[in-house]
Amino acid sequence: MAESDAEGTVESKDFLRTKIENDIRTGKYGGRVATRFPPEPNGYLHIGHAKSICLNFGVAEEYAGTCNLRYDDTNPDTATQEFVDSMQADIRWLGYDWEDRLYFASDYFEQFYEWAEKLVREDKAYVDSSSEEEIRELRGTVTEPGRPSPYRERTPEENLDLLRRMKAGEFPNGAHVLRAKIDMAHPNMVMRDPLLLRIRHSTHYRRGDEWCLYPMYDYAHCLEDAIEDITHSFCTLEFRNNREIYDWVLDAVGIERPRTEQTEFARLELDYTVLSKRRLIRLVNEGHVAGWDDPRMPTIAGIRRRGVTPEAVRSLCEKVGVADVKSRTDYALFEYAIRDDLNWRSPRRLAVLDPLKVVITDYPEDAEEWIDAPSFPRDVDKEGSRRMPFSRELWIERADFMEEPPRKFHRLAPGREVRLRHAYVIRCDEVVKDPETGEVIELRCSHDPATMGANPADGRRIKGTIHWVSARHALPAEVRLYDRLFAVADPDEGLEEGEDFTKNLNPESLVVVNPARVEPSLADDPPGSRYQFERSGYFVSDASDSAPGALVFNRTVTLRDSWAKIAARS
C-alpha cells in the first residue's frame, strides 16, 4: 500500500510495486509474492542484470516474499559452470541471497518432455522434419501469413513414435523438431507453430550426454515459472509479444493454479557501454579487453574490480527506477552514484601520477618531519589520519608547474608561491632544464618554515594548494587510468556498412602510468583498498595484481565529470 507522509501526499510507487500491492490486497495469490531472477549462464552478469536483480530480490524483501535464483541453462553449447559460479558470486556481492532457492532449468528436462508427450497425444504439437530454412520460409512475414509444413498433419501416433526416438538419440541435429500446432496465419508471428524442442547432440555441463532434446526458450520459460509457482514474473519489454505463447503453453499443458503474472519493464541501457552478453563475450574473445573482469567492462565483476561498491550499483538502480518505456541512462548518473558513495568511505591520500622533482634548497639534507594528516575533509564526518613524511626532495605533479602561466594559474611558476598540502608554503626560485631537450627536470624551491599548518605571518595570500610526496619515502606504483569503454554514447551510432560496435571503442579507455609515486602509508594496505588520491580521483588497489612492494591502483572514477566539459567545449 502506498504510504502517506506527514503532508498526506502519497509516496509514488513504480507500476510494478503498485501491481503487487494490488494483488496482495485482492488476495490473488493468497497474499504470496514469489519472484525469480532467471539468468542464462552464457556469460557474466552485467549492470543491466543488476537492475533486474535489485528489482526481483528487492521486491521479495519489501513484501516479505521470496526470490528464486534460477539458471535458464537450456542451451548445452553456451552454458558453463564458470558462468554459473560467477553469477552467484556477483549476486552475493550485490547483497542478495536466494537461501535454499537455487534452481536449474536443466533439472526440469524430464518434466518438459512429459508435457511434450501430452501435447503430442492431444494433437497440440507435431514433429516437423523440415530443414531450418524451409521452416523459416513457410513462416511468412508480418504482412503475409505463413503456410503449413507438409508434416503438419502427422497423426498423434506417428508424432509420438518420432518424439520418443528423438529423445532416444536416433536422429542427428536438425533432423526433426517438435512444434506447437497453433496457427500458421496467426497475426502474432510468435504464434505461428513455434518450435518447442530441438535435437542437440552436445555435452551439457550438468546433464552430460544424458539428453539430446532441448527446450526452446518460449516453451521452457513459462513452464519454469509455473513449476516454481512464481507469482510475479518481471521481464524486459521485448518479451511482451511472447505473453501469448506463454499463455497458450500453460493452457495446453493444463496449468490451473493462479498463473504467474508477467509484467514487462524497460531494460537498462547505459551510455558509453554495451549491455548484452553476446557482445561482451566478443570483447573478451577478441581481446579488446583483458577478460570478463576487466575494469572497463560493464560486468559486475569488472565494476567490482574497478572499485565501485555494491551500494553504488544499488543506488544507481534506485535512481534509474523502473518504467515501461525504453530509455537510455546517462553515464554521468552512474558516475555520480559512484562518487557520492566513495566520497564518504574513501580516505584521502596523496599520489603523484606524473612526477616532477622539487628540491627544497633551504631544507637540511637529511632532515625529515612526519606530519599527522587527516584522512577525511571536514564535511565527511569521519575520524582518522596517517603520518606523512616531509623531506628535502619531493615529487609534485608536472601539470602543477608552468613556466609561463596564464593569469588564472594559481599553482607553481617561477618566482611564485604555492601551498603544499598539509605542509609548507614553497616558492619556486629556479627551473632546471635538460640541456639537450629543454624539458623541465627539476624545480629548486625554498620554503617558509613558519607556514606548517599556518598562514604566512605577514598576511600574504597563497591561492593554490598542490599535492606532493617525499621522494625518498614515496613508493613507486602502477596506476591504471580507466575511462569509458566506448568513445560515443551509443556504440551503434555512425557505423558504415560492414562496421560493428567495436569500431566505436575508446582507444584511450586505459592509460597506464608507471611508475607513479604514492605516499608510503599505502605500503601494507590489503588489495581492494579504496582511496581518494586528492585532486586526481577515486582509486582502488587492484584485487588481483596489487601486492605490497608492487602496488597497482585502478582509477574508479575521476573527481569531476570530465566528459561533460569536453562535450560543452565541442
Q: Binding residues for ligand ATP, per CB under 6 A?
A: 38-40, 48-49, 51-52, 72, 235-236, 267-268, 275-278
To the nearest whole angstrom, how small is the minimum distance from the Cβ of residue 277 to ligand ATP? Answer: 3
Position of minimal CB gap to Mg ion: 40
Q: Is 57 helix (H, G, I), strand (E, B) or coil?
A: helix
| Cβ atoms of residues 432 and 422 within 8 Å | no
Extract the C-alpha cell encoding 226. 509455473
Distances (CA, A) of 358 to 134, 426, 451, 472, 479: 76, 10, 18, 12, 21
**Nearest residue (CB) to ligand ATP, 38 versus 307:** 38
| Cβ atoms of residues 101 and 66 within 8 Å | yes
**Nearest residue (CB) to ligand ATP, 40 versus 483:** 40
To the nearest whole angstrom, how small is the minimum distance from the Cβ of residue 385 to Mg ion? Answer: 50
**Could you tell which of Mg ion, ligand ATP, none binds residue 276, using a CB distance below 5 to 8 A set by kind?**
ligand ATP
To the nearest whole angstrom, how small is the minimum distance from the Cβ of residue 52 to ligand ATP? Answer: 4
Active-site residue (options: 32, 267, 282, 398): 267
Is residue 283 within a helix (H) or strand (E), and if so which, with residue range?
helix 277-285
To the nearest whole angstrom, how small is the minimum distance from the Cβ of residue 270 to ligand ATP? Answer: 8
To the nearest whole angstrom, how small is the minimum distance from the Cβ of residue 72 to Mg ion? Answer: 8
Active-site residue (options: 179, 277, 314, 416): 277
**Could you tell which of Mg ion, ligand ATP, none binds residue 52, using a CB distance below 5 to 8 A set by kind?**
ligand ATP
Other Cβ atoms closer than 10 A to 313: 25
**Could you tell which of Mg ion, ligand ATP, none binds residue 267, using a CB distance below 5 to 8 A set by kind?**
ligand ATP
What is the spatial distance between Cα 280 and Cα 273, in angstroms, rounded to a whole number?
A: 10
**Nearest residue (CB) to ligand ATP, 216 versus 235:** 235
Extract the C-alpha cell encoding 161. 513414435
Active site annotation includes 92? no
Active-site residue (options: 21, 40, 134, 269): 40
**Nearest residue (CB) to ligand ATP, 236 versus 558:** 236
Q: How many residues bind Mg ion (CB under 5 A)?
A: 1
Greatest CA span in the chain, whole angstroms?
A: 104
DSSP string, 284-325: HHTTSSSSTT-TTSSBHHHHHHHT--HHHHHHHHHHH---SS
**Nearest residue (CB) to ligand ATP, 301 versus 479:** 301
To the nearest whole angstrom, how small is the minimum distance from the Cβ of residue 49 to ligand ATP? Answer: 5
Q: What is the CA radius of gyration of the chain?
A: 31
Mask for 33-52, x = binds Mg ion (CB under 5 A): -------x------------
**Could you tell which of ligand ATP, Mg ion, none binds residue 39, using a CB distance below 5 to 8 A set by kind?**
ligand ATP
Active site annotation includes 277? yes
Active site annotation includes 267? yes
| Cβ atoms of residues 524 and 361 within 8 Å | no
**Nearest residue (CB) to ligand ATP, 23 versus 72:** 72
What is the spatial distance between Cα 514 and Cα 353, in angstroms, rounded to a whole number?
A: 8
Distances (CA, A) of 485 to 43, 287, 380, 489, 559: 18, 13, 31, 10, 18
Extract the C-alpha cell encoding 255. 496449468
Catalytic annotation, residues: 40, 267, 277
Contact positions toward Mg ion, by CB under 5 A?
40
